[in-house]
Amino acid sequence: EDGYDLWLRYRPVEAARSTDIAARTTGIVTSGDSPTLAIAVAELQRGVEGMTGRQIAPLSALRPGALVLATPRTGTAMPIDTGRLGDEGYAIRSTQMSGAPVTLIAANSDRGLLYGVYHWLRLAQGGAALDRIDLRSAPRIGLRLLNHWDNLDGTVERGYAGMSIWDWWRLPDYKGPRYADYARANASLGINGTVLNNVNAKAESLTPAYIAKAAALAHVFRPYGIRVYLSVRWTAPMELDGLKTADPLDPQVAAWWKAKADEIYRAIPDFGGFLVKANSEGQPGPQDYKRTHADGANMLAAAVKPHGGIVMWRAFVYQHDNPEDRAKQAYSDFKPLDGQFADNVMVQVKNGAIDFQPREPFHPLFGAMPRTPLMMEFQITKEYLGQSTHLTYLGPLFEEVLKADTFAKGRGSTVAKVIDGSLDGHRLTGIAGVANIGVDRDWSGSIFNQADWYAFGRMAWNPDLPAEAVAREWAALAFSPDPRIVDPVVAMMMGSREAAVDYMTPLGLSHVMATGHHYGPGPWVSDLARPEWNPVYYHKADASGIGFDRTASGSDAVAQYAPQVAKMLANPKTAPERDLLWFHHLPWSYRLKSGESLWDGMVHRYDRGVAYVEDMQRTWDSLRPLIDPERFAQTQAFLRIQRREAQWWRDASIAYFQSVNRLPLPAGSAKPAHDLDWYKAQSFPFAPGHW
C-alpha cells in the first residue's frame, strides 16, 4: 500500500460481502465496442476481481444478477428514462429486465456509462447495499478541469509531489503507463479536461514538436472522456515566428493565432482550448499594447471558435506600481468588461481576491459579472496550506466558498450558482483545480493529499456535495468502510483546514508566509521590491492595532460586494469574525465575540491550531492496528512534521506580533521557544515548488 492505487484499490472484501457482490455481478451485458466502453468493462472486471477474486465475463444474453450497461442507441428496452441525464449523466437501478433481476447502468453516451460504472464501483467498495440501487446523477458544471502548473523541463510550479508526470522529453514516442492511470483516476471522479502546462507558459509548448507531444497525451486520455487544453504565452507569435507585435488587434497577430489553432486542431481534433495568464506577475498581455483583457480573449476565441474551442482567461491580475489595494485590482480590471467577451470565453477567477490563502472571503467578481461565464479556480496543491506534509483537508474550504452568498440576485445567490450557470443562465460553465499531482508513488505528496484531488473532482461534479460526505466516501475507499477507521479519520480531516488557519493566519490574516517558496512564517518581511509582496502590507500591524482596513475609511474593497454583503462586512460587529482582519484594522484591545481581546483571541487561536494537530496525532496513533504499515508510517511521520511546524508558525507569529505590540501573553499560553531573531534567521534555499 504505497498509495499508487488512490481510491481505486479494490482490495478483497470479507466473505459475506464478497458473496453479495458476486450475486450482483454474474456477468456484464453491453452492446457496442467503443474504447470507452471497453474501459468501463475492464474497470468492472478489475474491481470485482479485486474485491471478490472472481472473474466476470461479458454475457451475450441477460441472466439474473447481471450488470447491464445500456444507452438508448443500443436498442435495449430500458426501464429508465435517460431524458434529462445529458451527455455525461447516468442512472443506476436495481430492476428487472426480461424477467431477470439485474443492475442497470444507463446513460446517453459511453462516457456516461463509464461514470456510472465508477459510481457503482464506489458503492461496491464503500460497503453500500447493492440490491436496491436507484439513483441518477448528472454533472452540474460542464468543464471540470485540472490545471497543471507543469513546466516543459519537468519541474512543477508549486508542486510538492515530485517532478511532472509528463515526460515531455520522451513524448510522443513513449507513452508510459502512468498516463492511462492518471486518466482513469480522473475519469473516476468525472474530471473531463486537463490543462497540461503552467500558466506561466513557455512559447515552445506551441511548436510543432510540442503539439505532437500534447496530441500523444490527448490520444491516451480521449477514451476516458478527458480533453487536453494548453496554457499559452501571449507573445508566442513574436517569440516563435518573429512577429513585430502581439497586439491583439493587429491582423497579422490574429492570423497567426488562427493558423496556430488550425494546426493544433489538425493534431488534436477535440482540443479543448486555451488558458491564459496575461498581464499578471510579469507575464505579457494585451494591456502592453493598450488593449483590454477582452480584446485579447476575443482574438484568441475567434481562432478556436470554428473548432468548437474555448478560451479561459484568468482574472488573477495585479499590477506593478498600482497603488490600489491588491484585493481590488481584478475587479477593477474585469468588472467594466462584463458583456464584452465573446461567447466562447470564460473568465477564470480564483476563489479569493488575493491568492489561495488558508482562508479568504469569496472573490467579489463572483456575482458581479452576470453577462460573463465565470469559472472557479481552486488550488488543490497546498502552496499556502502546509505544502505536502500538513494534513489540511481542503473539502471544507471548497464548500465554504461554493456556499458563500453573493446576494447578486438577492439571498441564495451562492457562488455555486454563479459557476454552475444557473444564476445568470449560462450554458458554458467550468471549474478548475490547480493539480497536486507529481511522480511520487502516491501521486499527491501524501496519502491525505489524495483526498483533496478526490474532493475537487466530486465537488466539481456536484458543487452541493458536503465536504464531510466526500471525506467519508474517500476514507472508506482509501482505507476501508470500517467505521472504526472512517469515523476518526473523517473527524481528523474535517477540522484540519481550520487548524491550519488557526496556526497560520487566524481571524482573517493573510499572506504572512515567507518569501518566494511560501514555506513557513515570515510576518516580519518588509523589504521586497513590490509593496504587495510583503507580509507587512497585508497585516499592517503596529503598536496600536492590526488588520487591513478595507472599509470606506480604508481601501473600500467592501464596496465591490453586493450592497447587503458590503454593509455586513463593513461593520466589524457583523462581519464574520473569521474574516475580521481581512476587512478591518482594529486595536489590539478590540473585544471579540468571546469577550477576550483581539490579541488574546489571536494567541488562543494559535494555541488551538497546535492542539488540534496534537489531537490528530493521538487519533492517528490509535489507528495503528487498523491501517497498513506503509501508509500508517507516512502519515505518522508527516503529522510529526506538522506538529513541529504548527508550533513554529505559532511561535514565530507570536514573537513577531509581540515585538510590535509589546503585550503580555494571556495566562496559560507559553512563551515562544526562541526569540524573534532566531525565527527570522531560518532560511530554506531549496524548498520545493518555486522554480
Interaction between residue 382 and ligand BDP (CB under 6 A):
no
Minimum CB separation of residue 184 from ligand BDP in Å reads 28
Cis bond upstream, residue 237 (ω within 30): no
Interaction between residue 363 and ligand BDP (CB under 6 A):
no
562 in Cβ contact with 407 (< 8 Å): yes
Q: Which residue is nearest to ligand BDP (CB)?
A: 355
CA distance 352 to 578: 14
Minimum CB separation of residue 529 from ligand BDP in Å reads 16
Interaction between residue 356 and ligand BDP (CB under 6 A):
yes
3-state secondary structure of 639: helix
Count of residues that bind ligand BDP according to CB under 6 A: 10
Q: Out of 5, 43, 157, 400, which residue is the one contacting ligand BDP (CB under 6 A)?
A: 157
Interaction between residue 519 and ligand BDP (CB under 6 A):
no
Residues annotated as catalytic (active site), given as ranges: 281, 355, 383
The smaller minimum CB distance to ligand BDP, of residues 126 and 516, is found at 516
Query: β-strands 310-314, 273-276: how paired?
Result: parallel
518 in Cβ contact with 690 (< 8 Å): yes
Window 270-299: residues binding ligand BDP (CB under 6 A): 277, 281
Cis bond upstream, residue 172 (ω within 30): yes
143 in Cβ contact with 125 (< 8 Å): no
**In 3D, which of 414, 412, 292, 268 has the Cα closest to residue 345?**
292
Query: β-strands 143-147, 586-587: how paired?
Result: unpaired
373 in Cβ contact with 418 (< 8 Å): no
The smaller minimum CB distance to ligand BDP, of residues 318 and 503, is found at 318
Minimum CB separation of residue 157 from ligand BDP in Å reads 5
CA distance 192 to 140: 13
Interaction between residue 360 and ligand BDP (CB under 6 A):
no
Minimum CB separation of residue 518 from ligand BDP in Å reads 7
The smaller minimum CB distance to ligand BDP, of residues 335 and 690, is found at 690
Minimum CB separation of residue 148 from ligand BDP in Å reads 12
533 in Cβ contact with 506 (< 8 Å): no
Q: Out of 5, 383, 440, 651, which residue is the one contacting ligand BDP (CB under 6 A)?
A: 383
CA distance 239 to 629: 52
Interaction between residue 532 and ligand BDP (CB under 6 A):
no
Q: Out of 122, 158, 326, 497, which residue is the one contacting ligand BDP (CB under 6 A)?
A: 158
Interaction between residue 140 and ligand BDP (CB under 6 A):
no
At 682, give phi and psi (nearest 5°).
Answer: -65, 135
Residues 308-347: x where in contact with ligand BDP by CB under 6 A, - otherwise, as a string: --------x-------------------------------
All three cell numbers of 588, joined, read 489590539
CA distance 135 to 36: 22
The smaller minimum CB distance to ligand BDP, of residues 283 and 413, is found at 283
536 in Cβ contact with 521 (< 8 Å): no
CA distance 30 to 59: 8
Minimum CB separation of residue 356 from ligand BDP in Å reads 5
3-state secondary structure of 209: helix
Residues 172-201: x where in contact with ligand BDP by CB under 6 A, - otherwise, as a string: ---------------------------xx-
The smaller minimum CB distance to ligand BDP, of residues 426 and 511, is found at 511
Q: Interface residues with ligand BDP (CB under 6 A)?
A: 157-158, 199-200, 277, 281, 316, 355-356, 383
